[in-house]
Amino acid sequence: MKYTMQNLLKEDRLFSVSQRFKEGARVKDRSLFDLADNNYCDYWQKEAENLHWFKTWDRVLDWQPPHAQWFIGGKTNISYNCLDRHMPALKDRIAYFWRGEYEGCERMYTYGDMHEWVQKCANGLKKLGVKKGDRVAIYMPMIVEAVVAMQACARIGAIHTVVFAGFSSHALAERINDAECTLVITADFVHRKGKKIPIKKQVDEAVKDCATIEHVMVFSTVEESCAMTSKRDVWYHELVEGVANVCSAEPMDAEDPLFILYTSGTTGKPKGIVHTVGGYMVGAYTTTKYVFDIKDSDVFWCTADVGWITGHTYVAYGPMLNGMTQVMYEGAPNYPHKGVFWEIIQEYEVSIFYTAPTAIRMFSKWGADILKAYDLGSLRLLGSVGEPLNPEAWMWYHEHVGNKKCPIVDTWWQTETGSIMITNLPSIDKQKPGYAGKPLPGIEVELVDESGNQIQHGSGLLTIKKPWPSMLRTLWKDDARYRATYFRSPDYDTYYCGDAAAKDEDGNIMIIGRVDDVINVSGHRIGSMEIESALVDHEAVAEVAVVPKPHEIRGEAIVAFVILKEHILPDDALKNTLKKHVVDMIGAIARPETIIFTQDVPKTRSGKIMRRLLREMVHDLPLSDMTTLANQEVVSSLKEHYQFAKSRS
């Protein structure tokens, strides 16, 4: 295996929390770990009992590898648990402090407000004919209405599929069609860096190709209007005018699907990750509580967009299941100015801040001076997610944001896992820069080699040995792909996450990165084949190979080796056209940073592109095993070509 990071394994700095932190922590000793080690079903069952069930489960777990069912026979509703369960006690507690991106634009939503809104919206959905089991696409900016829409679906048992608003209309249509959604919920405009982006227009473009769509529901965010197609499109405020503000939560089977969230895999087609009501709820609730060591007085800010799993679990559901107060920000970290995040932390006295390594590296590049103008004294715990938090960024976060007093939880998990799997709880374990740490109670991980044999030292494939409640249940309409992607014959009982990792002597896990053809740009997962199919879709392109290369801020950047059709002129204008084409097909997150025109790419005898060699090339690494390479001559010429292209860019 090629993924070694020996220098990182030498890290020996360890950080502990104060005695005071330990004494006040929810997890003070290893008893939860012991309980889970002894019987993980007992551990999860005990956590599930903290939530409301209309009917208790008959059995905790049914595990027929690779399919798990949790809390079988139980009936519950996640929206009920986020809202009704807290009534009337938390009626006046703030659920969200919401900040718009322009000065002075802020709103507060109490649990009482959210309860009323979600019920109204749910009644609105019913008015549009949405029923339990129907799929609803949500394509929204970071406004609280996005959470309202998600919870309204959950309340009536409709399955939501949130599509990040940065995805193009083409990508939106692809997801709507795969899930066969009948409704899209959107907004008229998105505010982004002082501009109003007409997002409803994107939806109009998308639904042209979506035969299953019956309605488009639109939240109005600005005074001006947008084009509405009569009968199909409805304004939310008109729809809910006069509807009842009571809508009782549908008792859902624990194993009913709650949502589908598309994520990239190793083929051109995104995978529809399916999560179910009961298990996901228990995972979101439990991990929020223990990982962030939450207190009633906390103000929690997770900066993720609701379009990603982090925004689902730690913005829309987990914190509300725990009755927490949150901050939600509509805008970018550098608008209206580069100190806006710190201004928000100061203003709302944020105590728990959860963000991505790419943001931390960007802040460090902008310089610590910017932070000095703000009082960040309210912070007590910091979190990171999405990609490896390298030791330099860890130290910067620790020193300049946490003022050397806040522990950092580097949380490893995935869209598929539904909730956090690996991180050191600061009250129990020391923190080690560059390492996510140890698995949470109930989670058992193992590093294995390519043949599935356990590895004690060094690096290997990260696997999960036992099912856990918030694991994905299948891929939407593609159980065969679920089985083939995440499990291996003959037993199909161990989950392969697609990441490589290494372990130190104390059992701390360092995540190295993906071992498949998935690229992680700023914590966003993009399949190399998705980008390749977008590029070959362009008339000038004959063939493409896409690989990641290291990027100082974003973790990885996209490099595309492009073979043009004959007689096409390889100039810079075409490079820009191709980049734009990818943005149109997928979205801005997939824009290649570098395009290299070439005559050929390395291939196996059976014609498979050997991305591994290209990856090594752009990483300036020695090229590994070339025995299966069919076209030897291409490698040296490409290497020269790449060096030349690099020297010019």
Closer to ligand WT7 by Cβ: residue 8 or 484: 8
| Alpha carbon distance 506, 438 (integer Å) | 9
Closer to ligand WT7 by Cβ: residue 151 or 417: 417
Closer to ligand WT7 by Cβ: residue 186 or 415: 415
Could you tell me which stretch among 102-110, 164-172, 207-215, 508-516 binds ligand WT7 (CB under 6 A)?
A: 508-516
Could you tell me which stretch among 6-14, 57-65, 496-504, 612-620 binds ligand WT7 (CB under 6 A)?
A: 496-504
Question: Which residue of 412, 468, 561, 597 would you call a contact of ligand WT7, by CB under 6 A?
Answer: 412
Closer to ligand WT7 by Cβ: residue 270 or 498: 498
Closer to ligand WT7 by Cβ: residue 158 or 443: 443
Q: Is 318 helix (H, G, I), strand (E, B) or coil?
A: helix
Residue 256 contacts residue 281 (beta carbons within 8 Å)? no
DSSP 76: E
| Alpha carbon distance 44, 41 (integer Å) | 5
Considering the complex, what minimum distance in angstroms separates the CB of residue 282 from ligand WT7? Answer: 18
In the window 279-318, what residues touch ligand WT7 (CB under 6 A)? 308-310
Question: Which residue of 163, 171, 511, 557 would you call a contact of ligand WT7, by CB under 6 A?
Answer: 511
Question: Which residue of 79, 276, 303, 414 would you call a contact of ligand WT7, by CB under 6 A?
Answer: 414
- Residue 500 in contact with ligand WT7, rule: CB under 6 A: no
Considering the complex, what minimum distance in angstroms separates the CB of residue 494 from ligand WT7? Answer: 16
Task: Give the other-Cβ count within 10 Å of 491's Cβ.
Answer: 10
Considering the complex, what minimum distance in angstroms separates the CB of residue 302 from ligand WT7? Answer: 10
Question: Which residue of 159, 171, 436, 595 would you call a contact of ligand WT7, by CB under 6 A?
Answer: 436
Could you tell me which stretch among 100-108, 232-240, 329-337, 492-500 binds ligand WT7 (CB under 6 A)?
A: 492-500
DSSP 85: G
| Alpha carbon distance 252, 277 (integer Å) | 7
Q: Is 214 helix (H, G, I), strand (E, B) or coil?
A: coil
DSSP 401: I
Considering the complex, what minimum distance in angstroms separates the CB of residue 13 from ligand WT7? Answer: 18
Could you tell me which stretch among 139-147, 400-408, 513-521, 559-567 binds ligand WT7 (CB under 6 A)?
A: 513-521
- Residue 413 in contact with ligand WT7, rule: CB under 6 A: yes
Question: Which residue of 17, 51, 376, 385 would you call a contact of ligand WT7, by CB under 6 A?
Answer: 385
∠ CA(476), CA(281), CA(243), 5° rounding? 85
Closer to ligand WT7 by Cβ: residue 80 or 308: 308
Helix and strand numbers (H, E) in the chain are 22, 30
Considering the complex, what minimum distance in angstroms separates the CB of residue 580 from ligand WT7? Answer: 24
Question: Which residue of 165, 226, 320, 497 would you call a contact of ligand WT7, by CB under 6 A?
Answer: 497
Q: Residues 514-553 vs ligand WT7: string with x where CB under 6 A?
A: x-----x--x-x----------------------------
Considering the complex, what minimum distance in angstroms separates the CB of residue 405 from ligand WT7? Answer: 22
Closer to ligand WT7 by Cβ: residue 138 or 309: 309
| Alpha carbon distance 298, 350 (integer Å) | 7
- Residue 424 in contact with ligand WT7, rule: CB under 6 A: no
- Long-range CB pairs of 516-520 (<8 Å, 24+ gap) are 516/265, 516/266, 517/266, 517/611, 518/264, 518/265, 518/266, 519/546, 519/547, 519/548, 519/556, 519/558, 520/386, 520/387, 520/548, 520/555, 520/556
Closer to ligand WT7 by Cβ: residue 219 or 394: 394
Residue 470 contacts residue 390 (beta carbons within 8 Å)? no
Closer to ligand WT7 by Cβ: residue 308 or 561: 308
| Cα torsion through 524, 272, 279, 388, rounded to 10 | -20
Could you tell me which stretch among 84-92, 340-348, 510-518, 535-543 binds ligand WT7 (CB under 6 A)?
A: 510-518
Residue 307 contacts residue 73 (beta carbons within 8 Å)? no
Considering the complex, what minimum distance in angstroms separates the CB of residue 514 from ligand WT7? Answer: 5
Closest-CA residue to 47 (of 323, 256, 279): 279
- Residue 386 in contact with ligand WT7, rule: CB under 6 A: yes
Residue 312 contacts residue 259 (beta carbons within 8 Å)? yes
- Residue 415 in contact with ligand WT7, rule: CB under 6 A: yes
- Residue 498 in contact with ligand WT7, rule: CB under 6 A: yes
Closer to ligand WT7 by Cβ: residue 74 or 357: 357
Element (DSSP H or E) covering residue 67: strand 67-72
Question: Which residue of 45, 81, 411, 494 would you call a contact of ligand WT7, by CB under 6 A?
Answer: 411
Measured CA distances, 629 to 309, 399, 603, 606 (Å): 38, 48, 6, 9
Closer to ligand WT7 by Cβ: residue 45 or 431: 431
Considering the complex, what minimum distance in angstroms separates the CB of residue 51 from ligand WT7? Answer: 22
Task: Give the other-Cβ count within 10 Å of 75's Cβ.
Answer: 18
Considering the complex, what minimum distance in angstroms separates the CB of residue 327 from ligand WT7? Answer: 19
Q: Residue 240 corresponds to which tokens in the numbers above?
A: 């809910």
Could you tell me which stretch among 128-136, 438-446, 483-491, 495-503 binds ligand WT7 (CB under 6 A)?
A: 495-503
Q: Is 77 helix (H, G, I), strand (E, B) or coil?
A: coil
Element (DSSP H or E) covering residue 82: helix 78-82
- Residue 81 in contact with ligand WT7, rule: CB under 6 A: no
In the window 178-217, what residues touch ligand WT7 (CB under 6 A)? none
Q: Residue 581 corresponds to which tokens in the numbers above?
A: 């084409």
Judged by CB under 6 A, how many residues of this single chain contact ligand WT7? 24
The 3 state secondary structure assigned to 128-190 is CCCCCCCEEEEECCCCHHHHHHHHHHHHHCCEEEECCCCECHHHHHHHHHHHCCCEEEEECEE
Closest-CA residue to 282 (of 69, 470, 474, 473): 470
- Residue 602 in contact with ligand WT7, rule: CB under 6 A: no
Residue ranges that bind ligand WT7, judged by CB under 6 A: 263, 308-310, 385-388, 410-415, 436, 497-499, 511, 513-514, 520, 523, 525
